[in-house]
Amino acid sequence: MSILTSPRGKVEVVHCRRTESQDIYCIKNLIRKFTQKLFGSLNIIYLL
């Protein structure tokens, strides 16, 4: 757990964990046509 503060003073608590193979479905759902045009195709296996 980490606490981050933005330059504007907003405080957020962030929980991090390692990516697992079961996360692929959720990651795939985040990909939209706009982001694909902007960043190109992404091989999700590289994220794992």
9, part of any domain = no
1, part of any domain = no
Give the pLDDT score at 18. 80
Name residue, tokens 């959720």: 26
4, part of any domain = no
Number of structural domains (the chain) is 1
Contact partners, residue 14, CB within 8 Å, separation at least 6: 1, 2, 3, 4
47, part of any domain = yes
Give the pLDDT score at 22. 81
43, part of any domain = yes
- What is the domain range of residue 46? 18-48
12, part of any domain = no
Cα(48)–Cα(44) distance, rounded to whole angstroms? Answer: 7
Give the pLDDT score at 24. 81
Q: Which residues of the chain are modeled with pLDDT < 70?
A: 47-48
Name residue, tokens 């795939």: 28
Give the pLDDT score at 48. 65
